[in-house]
Amino acid sequence: MLSQTPILPDPNVIYVFHEYSPNIVTHQCIGGLSTVKGIPHPTYLGNLQTILSGVTDPNLQVQVTTEFNENWYSGRFPRLMQIIAAWARTSGVRVMMNEMGIERPEGVGGLPPVCLAAPTDADRGRYLTDVRTAAEANGIAWNYFASGPTSLKVKRGRPSGPRMLCGWRCGVQLSSPDNLPGCNMGDSGGIHSVF
For residue 87, the model assigns a pLDDT of 96
Q: What is the largest CA-CA distance in the chain?
A: 52
Percentage of the chain lying above the pLDDT 70 cut:
67
Per-residue CA distances from 42 to 11, 47, 55, 94, 151 (Å): 38, 11, 20, 29, 20
Residues paired with 14 in a beta bridge = 94
Mean pLDDT, rounded, of the chain: 73
Confidence of residue 109 (pLDDT cuts 50, 70, 90): low
Question: pLDDT, tens digit, for every residue of 76-98?
Answer: 899 999 999 999 999 999 999 98
For residue 129, the model assigns a pLDDT of 87
Per-residue CA distances from 195 to 88, 135, 166, 182, 192 (Å): 23, 19, 13, 6, 10
Residue among 156, 159, 146, 155 at smallest CA distance from 189 = 146
Residue among 82, 105, 100, 96 at smallest CA distance from 164 = 100
The answer to whether the beta carbons of residues 65 and 53 sit under 8 Å apart is no
Question: pLDDT, tens digit, for every residue of 119-159?
Answer: 777 888 888 889 989 999 999 988 877 655 444 443 333 33
Distance, in Å, from the CA atom of 54 to the CA atom of 19, rounded to the nearest integer, reads 26
Question: pLDDT, tens digit, for every residue of 19-70?
Answer: 988 888 888 877 788 888 888 888 888 899 998 998 999 999 999 999 998 8
Distance, in Å, from the CA atom of 134 to the CA atom of 77, rounded to the nearest integer, reads 6
Is residue 189 scored above 60 in pLDDT?
no
Is residue 178 scored above 50 in pLDDT?
no
Q: Which residue did the predictor score with more confidence, 4 or 145? A: 4
For 169, half-sphere exposure in the C-beta direction (CA atoms, 13 angstrom radius) is: 26
Q: Which helix (H) or strand (E) holds 99?
A: strand 94-100
Confidence of residue 186 (pLDDT cuts 50, 70, 90): very low
For residue 73, the model assigns a pLDDT of 73
Q: Is the dihedral of CA 35, 126, 149, 153 positive or negative?
A: positive
| pTM (two decimals) | 0.72
